[in-house]
Structure 1
């Protein structure tokens, strides 16, 4: 997100801020961190720090993008710049030079800013103590939190908490409630509809939330996505849902800014409720949630690129808030895709659930804690090392063919050994080529993993039966994989978004005909 910094006030703002400084006093930066490094603090009126968005979307060289992805995943919480540089094939000095040139800040500064901004959201949105916030955001203690917050925002944590509006404090009964900002428009119901067909039983679920009158004061209605996860070795449950002041079926909250058709930035949020025995380092869990939901993605570029297409354009117009769901856990998503080879979505969910049931960590004690009532969650999905260590015998008797067992275990071993890096920022062609070198992985699987796990906007599994049937409904005749590949050429570089619109349209049509 580009910001404008005003030298006479020491403040940086969003482009749409109502402030009108003299042009010769304004310096533009490609991202907020670069402005902060140069001594500017966020505007208290337009609150640029509350806007969704990610540094990973910057137009930077591939090694820098790979490093940004790792920073966003919390890599520098446990490693130093030397280790980060080694992962992307550079020396620490060269990586710092590239970061300062292309981002405007060093990797360490970006990691510190990431923690500071997350801590700021906890200061605004929760009543956690500053010691708890420091642990949750990855700081060593309140003193380090105080230094970081004061450096970035030019206010102490106490001063920031005193500035939050009356009534902004959350309810902490039954879990910690946080806001997940998004770039409007955003269609949460489209996400839950997509995810409902792909959930791994015991690990995640999509459920209908009770009406507001049944929630004992908990202000949310509509569908919710719930899943198990681990933070600092502790199992937990996350619930994502619409706030109560969001109209069901709408793409943004109904609260509007005076004189504007758009809601206030702070109201464009989903609700995330975390159930954990400790809130230490939950910053990484929140980042994973945002990645899965696609809330940081800007829908404007793909919408503009696809809106005039005679085939995809009408679908984009019907679902402007649609996003491409990515992954909460990269390895889990990759295995779920591999299991889905040549079988239905429902069968793949069942088979993936069997893997979790046999090799996953039990979390039964947490299944009753959710505010909307008990949820059918019982396991954490096994990590790559666990699945690789179990070997082919670990999957025996679960209904898999031997070929599928070999593929699943092969992917697990490749990830566990580091042969395949699911956080790499390689281009689409390189990712697909590397994945296709693994036994049992073809273009369909590789493109889906590139789309969901690596976040490639141009990934396109042209042989996907669902895509072909969706296009056949639009053109009125059968379409082969090669013909679909040719049809999709005008959709570059947003073929993944086009695919998501096709899947969404097909699902809506199937639902309407039931």
Structure 2
């Protein structure tokens, strides 16, 4: 998009582009999402940025009305397999906060200077600034939804000091943390009276465009592994819950199914959100847990681009019309997904009961974490499962958010006994590749680059079985 096209999106308050770019108003010093309901500024007063971090780095503060820091992430970071896309996925997972820029660069196979240069050139902000923007958003969520002491929130959000935390919050939100807490919406203040990270942080997980939650929850229910996952309630009002192994502790997350929003008068679907609660043993894991949920539920997809391409196909057109915004679910834990894709649901449940770590505080039917690859490699070293677990444990196969998809696929195919269809499932689900087709199914090239989504339409229509 050129800047004139972006301005037209701002003038029409087009929510399709929330998170794809940001605009700032020089006369007010505020930056917004494209769909901000405020009066449209004059064109000569507007600047455009690829990321919130770039707008913040240029001295602009986040709009209090449209909250541009809480929009869905750019769909580019799901689709792109280059170093910038891989870097953004890793930053979203909290790698810079945990390992620094040097750790990010090492995972990408580049020098820190190269990563800095590429991100700054394309996005207008380097890895430190991008991570800072993410920390500020995490801090705002904790400030406004929990009663945690401000000092604890500072370190839980990844800040090195309380002073750095206070300065960042003033720069980004033009408010102190105490002022942000006082200004929290009434619902947030009510939830805070009983909410702590161990009791559950309430969140709204935003998405752009239509979202077929029923199809996603149907798939999650069909795949749920006892002890680690559960789906309860009636269709249309279900809740998906699961355990998570996180960098600093463990978590139990819950997401509510939400009926699709109606079309607007213009025929478009507005964006929306899914309600979630995160029960964390360590609040430092909030950002990572949220990003892993977003990847599992495919919340950062661009349904407009997918539906526009697939909707013109003779076979897929009626399916897209019936389920606009259908997603291609990913994985909350890529290594777990790889093992489950290989062994199936029943065997996965056996592995959980035999080798999974029991939670310190089980919650209903959620009692275990899925066993780590190193545990499986030592306990069952033989066969294909042993080969896969060993490769995951020693890093011969990488499935983290910054992994190179082609390299991972080649490494998986080199393992004894791992068939091409299972590898295709791992590439689509664990690595979040939007353009994967199983080798035993004829898929036309016209479905590129959204073949993973095309298969979900076939599955939802009962024309293809995913395993």
Q: Are residues 232 and 430 of structure 1, via their aligned partners in 2, closer, same or farther at CA, if it must alter by over 3 Å?
A: closer
Q: Deviations over 1:59-114 (max 9, x none)?
A: 87712222222211111122121222122222111211111101211111111211
Instruction: Identify the residue that residue 498 of structure 1 maps to in structure 2.
Output: 454
Residue 29 (structure 2) pairs with residue 13 (structure 1)? no
Question: How big is the shift at 1:384?
Answer: 1.9
Question: How big is the shift at 1:355?
Answer: 0.8
Alignment of 1:290-329 (within 5 A): 290-329=294-333
Among residues 197, 200, 213, which one is paired with 1:175 in the alignment? 200
Instruction: Identify the residue that residue 200 of structure 1 maps to in structure 2.
Output: 225
| 3-state SS of 1:272 partner | strand
Q: Unmatched 5+ residue regions in structure 1?
A: 211-220, 340-347, 368-373, 393-404, 464-480, 510-514
Instruction: Identify the residue that residue 352 of structure 2 maps to in structure 1.
Output: 356
| 3-state SS of 1:201 partner | coil
Partners of 2:121 and 2:78 in 1: CA distance: 13
| 3-state SS of 1:273 partner | strand
1:34 touches 1:104 (CA, 8 Å); kept in 2? yes
Among residues 330, 336, 341, which one is paired with 2:334 in the alignment? 330
Partners of 1:98 and 1:447 in 2: CA distance: 30
Partners of 1:176 and 1:88 in 2: CA distance: 32
2:326 touches 2:457 (CA, 8 Å); kept in 1? yes
Instruction: Identify the residue that residue 260 of structure 2 maps to in structure 1.
Output: 251
| 3-state SS of 1:15 partner | coil
Partners of 2:321 and 2:439 in 1: CA distance: 23
| 3-state SS of 2:216 partner | helix
1:184 touches 1:251 (CA, 8 Å); kept in 2? no
Among residues 83, 88, 108, which one is paired with 1:68 in the alignment? 88
1:60 touches 1:102 (CA, 8 Å); kept in 2? no
1:52 touches 1:181 (CA, 8 Å); kept in 2? yes
Question: How big is the shift at 1:459?
Answer: 0.8
Partners of 2:129 and 2:226 in 1: CA distance: 40
Q: Are residues 428 and 310 of structure 1, via their aligned partners in 2, closer, same or farther at CA, if it must alter by over 3 Å?
A: farther
Q: Are residues 222 and 327 of structure 1, via their aligned partners in 2, closer, same or farther at CA, if it must alter by over 3 Å?
A: same
Instruction: Identify the residue that residue 154 of structure 1 maps to in structure 2.
Output: 174
TM-score (ref. length: structure 1): 0.79
TM-score (ref. length: structure 2): 0.86
Residue 385 (structure 2) pairs with residue 408 (structure 1)? yes
Instruction: Identify the residue that residue 446 of structure 1 maps to in structure 2.
Output: 423
Q: Are residues 30 and 134 of structure 1, via their aligned partners in 2, closer, same or farther at CA, if it must alter by over 3 Å?
A: same
Instruction: Identify the residue that residue 217 of structure 1 maps to in structure 2.
Output: none
1:33 touches 1:113 (CA, 8 Å); kept in 2? yes
Among residues 229, 242, 252, which one is paired with 1:237 in the alignment? 252
Q: Unmatched 5+ residue regions in structure 2?
A: 1-19
1:126 touches 1:178 (CA, 8 Å); kept in 2? no
Question: How big is the shift at 1:422?
Answer: 0.7
Among residues 42, 60, 71, which one is paired with 2:62 in the alignment? 42
Q: Deviations over 1:272-307 (max 9, x none)?
A: 222344433322112111111111222111011111
